[in-house]
């Protein structure tokens, strides 16, 4: 089921070299009190940790990429988990030969350079709660 939301504010800026990508996105949303929204980013990373959700095992498997990579696309959303802003993002990266890698963004992805755009929206509360069928913390909207 879809719910109507309304654009509240746009934020855009550059993230710092060496910061953890997921950590700084999450901290930024918490500092700005953004509890509902959308994130996009481009840039490059020094190394990355991506995840793949194994549906039968109901667990994430991580992929460590210890190399310099371009951010082709980062897209994600902001909602609440345990009553605090939570960033869920997926990341597509490319290496020097154009080979791409993608998956769920995990801590340990270090920024080389990153430009980010955040859309903060107003709407119903989207709270992540454990979904028994998938084993994932999915949105529950009252």
In this predicted structure, what is the pLDDT of residue 62?
A: 98
Question: Residues 114, 71: contact at Cβ < 8 Å?
Answer: yes
Could you read off the pLDDT of 78-105 as tens digits, one per residue?
999 999 999 999 999 999 999 999 999 9
Could you read off the pLDDT of 17-65 as tens digits, one per residue?
999 999 999 999 999 999 999 999 999 999 999 999 999 999 999 999 9
Question: Residues 83, 72: contact at Cβ < 8 Å?
Answer: no
- The Cα 19–Cα 107 span in angstroms is 10
Confidence of residue 142 (pLDDT cuts 50, 70, 90): confident
Map out the domains of the chain with their CATH numbers. 6-140 (3.30.1330.80)
Q: Is the pLDDT of residue 9 over 90?
A: yes
Per DSSP, the residues of the chain read -----EEEEEEEEEEPTTSBHHHHHHHHHHHTT--SEEEEEEEEEEEEEEEEEETTTTEEEEEEE-S-EEEEEEEEEEEEETTEEEEEEEEEEE-TT--EEEEEE-TT-EEEEEEEEEEEEESS--EEEE-TTTSSEEEE--
Torsion of CA 74, 136, 8, 17, to 10 degrees: -30
Average pLDDT over residues 74-81: 98
Confidence of residue 141 (pLDDT cuts 50, 70, 90): confident
Note the pTM of the prediction, 2 decimals. Answer: 0.95
In this predicted structure, what is the pLDDT of residue 61?
A: 97
């Amino acid at each position: 089921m879809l719910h109507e939301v309304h654009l509240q504010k746009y934020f855009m800026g550059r993230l710092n070299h060496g910061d953890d990508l997921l950590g700084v996105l999450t901290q930024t949303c918490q500092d700005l009190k953004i509890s509902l929204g959308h994130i996009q980013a481009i840039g490059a990373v020094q190394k990355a940790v991506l995840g793949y959700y194994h549906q039968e095992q109901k667990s994430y498997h991580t992929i460590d990429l210890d190399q310099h990579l371009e951010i082709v696309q980062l897209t994600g959303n902001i909602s609440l988990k345990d009553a605090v802003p939570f960033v869920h993002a997926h990341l597509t990266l490319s290496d020097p030969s154009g080979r791409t890698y993608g998956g769920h963004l995990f801590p340990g992805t270090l920024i080389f350079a990153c430009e980010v755009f955040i859309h903060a929206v107003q709407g119903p509360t989207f709270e992540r709660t454990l979904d028994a069928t998938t084993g994932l913390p999915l949105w529950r909207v009252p």
